[in-house]
Amino acid sequence: MTDIIIIGGGHNALVAAFYLARGGRKPLVLERRPIVGGCAVTEEFAPGYKAPTLAHALGPLRPSIVRDLQLETRGVQFVRPDPRLLAVAADERALALWNDPARAAESIRAFSAKDAARYPEFCATLARLGAFLDELLTMTPPSIDAPSAGELWELIKTGRRFRNHG
Ligand SMILES: Cc1cc2nc3c(=O)[nH]c(=O)nc-3n(C[C@H](O)[C@H](O)[C@H](O)COP(=O)(O)OP(=O)(O)OC[C@H]3O[C@@H](n4cnc5c(N)ncnc54)[C@H](O)[C@@H]3O)c2cc1C
């Protein structure tokens, strides 16, 4: 019998339901639309043209989730475009954000030499913060009402690591 009800069947709900079911719970996902997937659903926005409704680029999908859900053996293919983003301006210039920061900086230079000069440093900062956040996502949050001494110690260590990023 159902012991957890999840309202909305977006990809976060589906992943949560999977792990709850794997942990022995009996989740029920209620979706108001005829299809699940939320903003990650691929739909035809003009005859013959399909794209995800909103989430057009893959966010931080953890490799462990890809493995656990066996996405690749179920036919999911991950496309890693290069450039990862292309913005065409009204004057027909185009800003391409290539995966290589130096190459992307060259593209940015046509719009702003100052931004181009800082872009590699910006990427390095994001990578550093991303690694910290990645670690944070794998942690079990401490109890809010009655944190144990061990949980508080972990929290202090995490806070110090965060401060070290400046
Ligand atoms: C403009 C825009 C662009 C974005 N681009 C990206 C991107 O490129 N890459 C990326 O990773 N993320 C992107 N995002 C963010 C991404 O879309 C969300 O983070 C993601 O969709 C959240 O997923 P979710 O499963 O939590 O909820 P959602 O995808 O919002 O799904 C919620 C689901 O709940 C259903 N629902 C809602 N209310 C009810 C109800 N009362 N009863 C039953 N069902 C209900 C909805 O129909 C829907 O299916 C973008 C967001 C926006 C707004």
Q: Name the architecture of domain 1-79.
A: 3-Layer(bba) Sandwich (3.50)
This prediction has a pTM of 0.81
Name 26's Cβ contacts closer than 8 Å, sequence gap at least 6.
1, 2, 3, 4
Residue having the nearest C-alpha atom to atom 53 of ligand 1: 54
- Distance from residue 1's CA to the centre of ligand 1 (Å): 28
Cα 84 to Cα 66, 73, 95, 96, 166, distances in angstroms: 21, 25, 11, 8, 28
pLDDT per residue rounded down to tens, the chain (166 residues): 999 999 999 999 999 999 999 999 999 999 999 999 999 898 898 999 998 888 877 776 888 999 999 999 999 888 888 999 999 989 989 999 999 999 999 999 999 999 999 999 999 999 999 888 888 888 888 899 999 999 999 989 999 988 988 7
> Half-sphere exposure of 42 toward its Cβ, with a 13 Å CA cutoff?
7
- Report the distance separating Cα 40 and Cα 53, nearest Å: 6
**Ligand 1 center from residue 15 Cα (angstroms):** 13
Domain boundaries, the chain: 1-79
Backbone angles phi, psi at 79, to 5 degrees: -105, 125
Question: Which residues approach ligand 1 with their CB closer than 6 A?
Answer: 7-13, 30-33, 38-40, 54-57, 59
Neighbours of 104 (CB within 10 A): 22
* 39 within 8 A of 56, measured Cβ to Cβ: no
Residue whose pair of structure tokens reads 């910290």 in the numeric block:
132
Residue recorded with tokens 């508080």: 152
State the closest ligand 1 atom to the C-alpha of 39, by its place in the atom list counted from 1.
29
Determine contact, residues 41/35, Cβ cutoff 8 Å: yes
